[in-house]
Structure 1
Amino acid sequence: MLCNRQVIKYNYGFSNVKKRAYLDGCAVAHALDIIGDRWAMPIMRELMLGPKRFTDLRASLPGISANVLTQRLEELEAASILIRRRLPPPAASQIYELTDWGRESEILFQVLGRWACRSPTMQPGQPMSNVSVILSMRTMIDRGRIGDMDAAIGMRFGEEVFRATLKSGDFIIHRGETEDADVIFSGDQNALVAVVYGGARFEDVADVLTVEGDRELAERFIRLFPLPPKAPSTVTPETTAS
């Protein structure tokens, strides 16, 4: 069991960043020391598919302030989870990207995501970032449903473009071109979320999401990501009132 978090602060090795620690030998407690603060994991999530600039991170995390984002980036850099580097001219901008070890944390997002999907208190319909949508597909894909599908699926969400490949029962999705894709979804990523996870029809979101290509294949694709059943709620009117 984790002990209460101590007010004592400590330095990250070579860094001047200071954080509170559980002072617990459990590795889970240490994981919470370095990624347990608010916004740490969403920042890591947004970098999972590649580097981003500070302004890009703020745009994909609209609830975070510039000061908090700066602080979390410094803490994650001090923990060797991400690095920052400057692109050469003409871009000459600073970007943040996960280290190899930082990218290994994707399994944590997948396990935690599948577990949290069963939460009886999770509210559907909350907005998701482009990267969050793509990672959710990596997490929820049911490879047993792929069968004989051999196709490329493109997704265009604003300026970001992604490509999913289905072949031999496997599923790969990452940033990539869509020109030769069998199906291309373009528009609002949250409209696609509503279709994939919320039971909406393409007709329901036609004003914000377009579907080009093989419509039958598109219908098969959206059924590859079933949600697990909800865990039973232990909350009753009596417990809520008390």
Structure 2
Amino acid sequence: MGAPYYQFCPVAKAMELLDERWTMLLLRELLLGTEHFNELRRGLPRMSPTLLSHRLDQLQRAGLLERLVEGSDVRYILTPAGAELRPVVEQLSAWGVRWIGELGDADLDPKLLLWDMHRNIDHTAVPPVRTVISLHFTDATPAQRRWWLVIHDGDADVCDADPGYDVSVGVRCSLRALTRFWRGDIEWTTLLVAEDATTTGPSHLRRALPSWFTRPGYAAVPRVPADGLATAALAP
């Protein structure tokens, strides 16, 4: 628990638990259905394992999640109290995408982007055979430039080394452009035309590619004009 505010206001009481660093992002991951420690780490790559364990213990003691152990399998499941925070997190994401401005370079992370994309695949839309998407990010560092998504049998893997399978579709674009598409800032056609992106592979697969993914709900949130963004107010 964070430092007490010593106020009877329910906002103050809630924030004593929720306003500690990483807590709301951890809840975001749990609300997205992530249940295992290592998968939580992949969704929160800059959170230390020690702090993650500590936050999970805090949420368990506060009654927001349960720790279920079945042999060597340990899962973290939200209780009704934790699940009730879903609209709070969804409204925060909608507010953030509507009012907070452009992304900084430090906000761009190919591993995190592809991890989010891999758990939002519409497996009914993907061909019923192993489908491999290769991605080349033109603005990433050499170590983070090449990635692969391997989709097969209702599952998907994110690879930072060539998995050795034939590539179904290749995408070459900037990391910033694909991130903007995923957030709903631009559409796929804009990414291909205005962002100088290219795709390779059979034409029917290249056309179908964007339909293989379901973007997060906040991607559909209407944006405000650039001059109304909160960026200026947040600047030092």
TM-score under structure 2 normalisation? 0.56
Which residue type is aligned with residue 86 of structure 1? V
- Residue 112 (1) aligns with residue 92 (2): yes
Which residue type is aligned with residue 89 of structure 2? F
Gaps of 5+ in 1: 1-17, 138-151, 162-175, 179-184
Match of 1:201 in 2: 192
Alignment of 1:14-163 (within 5 A): 19-88=2-71, 92-123=72-103, 126-127=108-109, 128=112, 153=125
Which residue type is aligned with residue 47 of structure 1? L
Deviation at 1:49, TM superposition (A): 3.1
Deviation at 1:108, TM superposition (A): 0.8
Which residue type is aligned with residue 101 of structure 1? A
Among 215, 224, 234, the alignment partner of 1:230 is 224
User: Structure 1 residues 186 and 114 mapped into 2: Cα distance closer, same or farther (>3 Å)?
Assistant: farther
Which residue type is aligned with residue 104 of structure 1? E
Deviation at 1:129, TM superposition (A): 5.1
For the aligned residues, what is the CA RMSD?
Answer: 4.6
Count of residue pairs the alignment pairs up: 182
Which residue type is aligned with residue 79 of structure 1? A
Deviation at 1:159, TM superposition (A): 7.5
SS of the residue corresponding to residue 67 of structure 2 reads strand
User: Structure 1 residues 211 and 234 mapped into 2: Cα distance closer, same or farther (>3 Å)?
Assistant: same
User: Would the aligned equivalents of 2:65 and 2:79 in 1 still touch at CA under 8 Å?
Assistant: yes
Deviation at 1:51, TM superposition (A): 4.3
Q: Percent identity?
A: 21
Gaps of 5+ in 2: 133-147, 156-168
Instruction: Show CA shifts across 1:197-234 (max 9, x none).
Output: 24323982647xx9848639839x87x94442236257
SS of the residue corresponding to residue 31 of structure 2 reads coil
Deviation at 1:75, TM superposition (A): 0.8
User: Would the aligned equivalents of 2:108 and 2:179 in 1 still touch at CA under 8 Å?
Assistant: no
Report which of the two has the higher share of helix.
2
Deviation at 1:119, TM superposition (A): 2.5
TM-score under structure 1 normalisation? 0.55
SS of the residue corresponding to residue 52 of structure 1 reads coil
